[in-house]
Amino acid sequence: MTAVKEKIIDAVTVMSDDDAEKIWEHIIKKFTRSWENIEEESPDAIDIQMLKDIENDSECHQFTKEDDIVWDKD
């Protein structure tokens, strides 16, 4: 991931939901045409294996509450 994308993710992580909504509206307005042309692809063997692993691994069904996550601010 590029440094610019990491900065965007960091900014969205700390902004309010209202501000994030405004950013999302801007993204939709600005980039909607290019998203309409994305073709759906069938999963390959690696994707299928990953999905099977997720179904069969009990740890894949355990989630961490957001309050328990420590965010690196660097």
Better-predicted residue by pLDDT, 8 or 32: 8
Q: What tokens appear for 4 in the block?
A: 């610019």
Q: What is the mean pLDDT of residues 44-50?
A: 94
Q: Quick one: 38 exposed, middle or buried, by C-beta within 10 A (0-12, 13-18, 19+)?
A: exposed
What percentage of the chain reaches a pLDDT higher than 70?
92
Cα 16 to Cα 19: distance, rounded to the nearest angstrom? 5
pLDDT for residue 56 is more than 80: yes
pLDDT tens digit sequence for 2-24: 999 999 999 999 999 999 999 99
